């Protein structure tokens, strides 16, 4: 089974410099609160000017995880989605290069801005400020693509103790856990539906790895279809509870794979807000939580290094 691994590499600057201990202990009117990013460092470049590079890191992560999975320091994707992933990375690269060009062009003004914010630190700021050459050499983004064969005996042996399907399920569990950890009040529509759709996209793209991921797609399709049909109707609230229950049940990798194997979620029938159901003794929320047990927090997925 052949596929492709993307190995991204991004370099950026922090905008800070280590500060001499004597300056930290100085009593010459310097206000440390104006310049310290953390103990022992001084903020030379304005943080806002460096935000585009942090945003680019997150964008690369999102693109490669949306239809791929972490794989030995890179991200594995199916051959079929390589052109799409390549195009999205190229767009991020264009934005990255534009941000780099702006930073280089604005460098004198940015240093002047930092000096105006902390004039008593002008000597230290200017002495430690990067040059345009420093920025040109130390800010970069690129990637390589490496074809691999999952049937290679070495890869098979390496993955034996932690199969790819489990790794992928952990990433999906992390998606569900991250959503549930955020406040959901004040949001329109059915909260969590977009997360289920994102998990479905990932499962579909990686279904060639394990048949249970294909089963998960079928299970999610049923929930997503019902939720979309309930939008704007009296059944929307009940459907939102079902979606929430599904996400609660997907915070554990083993539960995700079990659903994939069954090809369906064990869900209660939604209660009609007018007619109800003959044997409904509890509300939909209780039914949903009973049908899909609340899982323990997912095993966190380590972030990839740049």
DSSP string, 163-210: -HHHHHHHHHHHHHHHHHTS--TT--S-TTHHHHHHHHHHHHHTTTT-
> Regarding beta strands 16-18 and 36-38, do their DSSP bridges make them parallel or antiparallel, or are they unpaired?
unpaired
> Which pLDDT tens digit goes with each residue over 120-139?
888 889 999 999 999 999 99
Cα–Cα distance, 225 to 215 (Å, whole number): 16
304 vs 265 pLDDT, higher one:
265
DSSP string, 18-49: E--HHHHT--SS--GGGTEEETTEEE-S-HHH
What is the pLDDT averaged over residues 163-191?
89
Question: What does the domain layout of the chain look like in residue ranges?
Answer: 2-155, 161-262
Write the pLDDT tens digit of every residue in 100-109.
999 999 999 9
Q: What is the pLDDT of residue 40?
A: 75
Q: Count Cβ atoms within 10 A of the Cβ of residue 128 and give its class: 0-12 exposed, 13-18 middle, 19 or more buried.
A: middle
Query: Who wins on pLDDT, 183 or 99?
Result: 99
CA distance 8 to 281: 54
Mean pLDDT, the chain, rounded, equals 84
Residue 165 has pLDDT above 80, yes or no: yes
Mean pLDDT of the 79-94 span: 96
* Residue scoring higher pLDDT (291 or 72): 72
Say which residue, 35 or 111, is predicted with more confidence: 111
Give Cα 250 distance to the centre of its chain: 17
Alpha helices in the chain (DSSP H): 21-24, 47-66, 82-117, 122-128, 132-138, 153-159, 164-180, 193-205, 211-230, 236-249, 253-262, 284-291
Mean pLDDT over 169-192 rounds to 88
The residue whose two tokens read 């600057």 is 13
The encoded tokens of residue 196 equal: 């289920």
Q: What pLDDT is stored for residue 104 in this prediction? A: 97
pLDDT at 306: 32
Mean pLDDT of 196-224: 96
The answer, yes or no, to whether residue 7 has pLDDT greater than 90, is yes
Token pair of 271 as six digits: 């209660």
């Amino acid at each position: 089974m052949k596929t492709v691994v993307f190995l991204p590499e991004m370099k950026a600057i922090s905008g800070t410099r280590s500060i001499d201990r004597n300056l930290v202990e100085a009593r010459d009117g310097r206000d440390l609160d104006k310049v310290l990013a953390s103990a022992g460092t001084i903020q030379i470049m304005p943080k806002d000017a460096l935000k585009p590079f942090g945003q680019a890191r997150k964008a690369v992560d999102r693109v490669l995880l949306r239809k791929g999975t972490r794989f030995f320091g890179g991200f594995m994707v199916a051959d079929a989605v390589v052109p799409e992933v390549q195009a999205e990375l190229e767009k991020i690269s264009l934005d990255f290069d534009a941000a780099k060009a702006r930073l280089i062009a604005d460098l004198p003004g940015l240093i002047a801005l930092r000096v105006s914010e902390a004039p008593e630190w002008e000597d230290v700021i200017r002495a430690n400020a990067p040059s345009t050459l420093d920025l040109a050499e130390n800010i970069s983004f690129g990637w390589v693509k490496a074809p691999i064969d999952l049937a290679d005996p070495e890869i098979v042996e390496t993955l034996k103790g932690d199969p790819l399907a489990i790794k992928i399920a952990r990433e999906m569990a992390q998606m569900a856990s991250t959503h549930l950890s955020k406040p959901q009040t004040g949001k329109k529509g059915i909260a969590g539906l977009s997360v289920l759709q994102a998990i479905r996209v990932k499962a579909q793209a990686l279904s060639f790895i394990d048949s249970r991921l294909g089963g998960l797609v079928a299970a999610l399709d049923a929930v997503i279809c019902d939720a979309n049909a309930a939008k704007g109707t009296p059944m929307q609230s009940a459907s939102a509870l079902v979606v929430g229950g599904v996400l609660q049940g997907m915070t554990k990798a083993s539960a995700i794979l079990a659903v994939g194997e069954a090809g369906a979620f064990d869900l209660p029938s939604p209660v009609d807000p007018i007619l109800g159901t003959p044997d409904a003794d509890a509300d939909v929320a209780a039914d949903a939580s009973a049908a899909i047990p609340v899982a323990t927090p997912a095993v966190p997925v380590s972030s990839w290094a740049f």
